[in-house]
Chain A
Amino acid sequence: MISEIFEIVIYIFLAIGVFFNLLAGIGLLRFPDVYTRLHAGTKCTTFGSIFLIGSVILLGLRMWWNNDADGSILAIHSIVALVAILVTNPTGAHALARAAHRSGVEPYGAVVDDLKGTIKPKAESKPKKKPVKKKKTSTKKEEGK
């Protein structure tokens, strides 16, 4: 009886997880610029993954309940994966958004942009020029040869 209830809960968790991950995919296609796409890409994938991994944890707990020690490995390693996703997903989104703003992507249809003008452009422009010059000189040498 208990294992049947577990089975149903696992299927419900899988359905919720797949639905939100699908929503993240549609959001990536429908939103206009990088920041709004990151909104869809972080929240929905994290929430969906919580439920997908939750179903795996429940499966492991059920195996453990039935005296199969392998179930404990499955459950605990899935929890570790869940913690890793919870920590790295927002951090990665933050890094992407920061890099996008530093390389001059303006938020689409922005009402207000407090961050604009606070970053000094000098630090960016210097390293960009050097490799371009090197490439030009190298192509000239090759032509000369």
Chain B
Amino acid sequence: MIAFVITTIVCFITYLFLTTGSATADSDILGLWSQYEIIFGVVLSVISGVIARTIFVKESKRMANPAKWFIFLGYLVGPFFIGMAKANFDVAYRVITGKINPGIVRISPDLKTDLGITMLANSITLTPGTLTVDIDENKNDLYIHWINVKKEALEKKPVDCKYICGSFPKWIRRIAE
């Protein structure tokens, strides 16, 4: 039942976002939607809530907590965006000078959920000098192509997380675990 309600609400909010500007002269709500659009949206989201409830919500419901969404938004705007800006100047520097020292290293970020490891892999790909190549699905270890390998990082294997991810695993543990 909770899964059905969550799915329906998310569907309805998405529908509202995608149908702004449908207001007509004789029927409008807040100047953005027409009444018919909203009624139809409710019907459609109840139908898709019935169909998709087992797929959309898995056994754990921890992502239904709105505080996590705000932490996620803060993560996107704060450390993630700064890391991405750094990454771009780093790539610009390497494009112009051609100085590279690449290698593929293994890190074990110690995250347990699929969502968390996906977020970490995507964040790593978009931040300075690193690209996720493969994953060890048994241990949730990531193989990373690193464009500028530091010598001191290679002394310990698997390579210490702090050289590659920075503060990302802390944030992701707060959001997804």
Q: Which A residues form the contact surface with B (CB < 8 A)?
A: 20, 23, 26-27, 30-32, 35-36, 38-40, 42-44, 46-47, 69-70, 72-73, 76-77, 80, 87, 89-91, 93-94, 97-98, 101, 107-116, 118-119
The residue that B91 contacts in the complex, of A39, A73, A118, with Cβ under 8 A, is: A39
Neighbouring A residues of B143 by C-beta, 8 Å: 114-115
B121 & A94 in contact (Cβ 8 Å cutoff) = yes
Complex CA distance for A46 and B125, rounded to whole angstroms: 11
- Given A35-B145, A40-B95, A97-B132, answer yes or no on A70-B21 (Cβ-Cβ < 8 Å): yes
Complex CA distance for A70 and B125, rounded to whole angstroms: 35
CB of B98 closer than 8 Å to a CB of A = yes
B103 & A111 in contact (Cβ 8 Å cutoff) = yes
- Given A27-B91, A69-B23, answer yes or no on A114-B131 (Cβ-Cβ < 8 Å): no
Interface of A is mostly: helix
Neighbouring B residues of A116 by C-beta, 8 Å: 104
Closest 8 CB pairs of A and B: A90-B125, A112-B103, A111-B103, A114-B106, A90-B122, A69-B21, A72-B20, A73-B21
Shortest A98–chain B CB gap in Å is 5
B131 & A113 in contact (Cβ 8 Å cutoff) = no
B103 & A107 in contact (Cβ 8 Å cutoff) = yes
Can you name 11 extra interface pairs (CB under 8 A) apart from A70-B21, A112-B149?
A23-B88, A23-B91, A43-B88, A69-B20, A93-B125, A94-B121, A101-B104, A101-B133, A111-B103, A112-B105, A114-B158
The residue that A40 contacts in the complex, of B85, B91, B98, B121, with Cβ under 8 A, is: B91
A69 & B32 in contact (Cβ 8 Å cutoff) = yes
CB of B65 closer than 8 Å to a CB of A = no
Shortest B94–chain A CB gap in Å is 8
Complex CA distance for A55 and B18, rounded to whole angstroms: 19
Shortest A72–chain B CB gap in Å is 4
A76 & B20 in contact (Cβ 8 Å cutoff) = yes
B126 & A98 in contact (Cβ 8 Å cutoff) = no
B31 & A94 in contact (Cβ 8 Å cutoff) = no
- Given A94-B132, A97-B131, answer yes or no on A42-B126 (Cβ-Cβ < 8 Å): yes
- Given A47-B85, A72-B32, answer yes or no on A115-B104 (Cβ-Cβ < 8 Å): yes
Neighbouring B residues of A115 by C-beta, 8 Å: 104, 106, 133-134, 143
Neighbouring B residues of A43 by C-beta, 8 Å: 84, 87-88, 91, 125-127
